[in-house]
Amino acid sequence: MLSAVIVLALLGAWELYVQLGSVDELLLPAPSAIVTALVDERALLWSNFTVTATEVGLGILLALAVGLLLAVGLHLSKTAHRAIYPLLVASVALPIPVIAPLLVVWFGYDLGPKVVIVALVAFFPIVVVTLGALSSTDSELLRVLRSMDATRWQRLRFAELPAAVPAAVSGAKIAVAVAVMGAVFAEYAGSEAGLGHMILQSIPQLETARAWAAVVVLATFAISLVALLAIVERRLRATHSPTPRGLS
Partner 1 sequence: MQSETTTPQAVTVRTPQGEDGAQAPAVLLRDIRHDFGDLHVLAGLTLEVAAGETVALVGPSGCGKSTLLEIACGLQRPSSGTVAATPAALVPQRDALLPWADALDNAALPLRLQHVTRAEARRRAEPLLAELGLSGFERARPAQLSGGMRQRVAFARALLTGRDVLCLDEPFGALDAITRAEIHRWLAGALAVQPRTVLLVTHDIEEALVLADRVCVLSPRPARIVAELAVAGARPRDPADPALIALRRQALEALRAC
Catalog residues that contact partner 1 under the rule CB under 8 A: 138, 140-141, 143-150, 154, 158-159, 162-163, 239-245, 247-248
Handedness of CA 118, 135, 72, 142 (dihedral sign): negative
CB of 153 to partner 1, least distance (A): 11
Nearer of residues 51 and 161 to partner 1, judged by Cβ? 161
CB of 244 to partner 1, least distance (A): 4
CB of 134 to partner 1, least distance (A): 15
Tell which residue, 16, 28, 64, has the closest CA to residue 166. Answer: 64
What kind and span of H or E run contains 205? none
Nearer of residues 42 and 143 to partner 1, judged by Cβ? 143
Nearer of residues 125 and 166 to partner 1, judged by Cβ? 166
Could you tell me if 208 and 216 are in contact, meaning their C-beta atoms sit under 8 angstroms apart? Answer: no
Nearer of residues 132 and 190 to partner 1, judged by Cβ? 132
What kind and span of H or E run contains 208? helix 208-240
Q: How far apart are CA 195 and CA 159, in angstroms?
A: 42
CB of 241 to partner 1, least distance (A): 6
Could you tell me if 124 and 177 are in contact, meaning their C-beta atoms sit under 8 angstroms apart? Answer: no
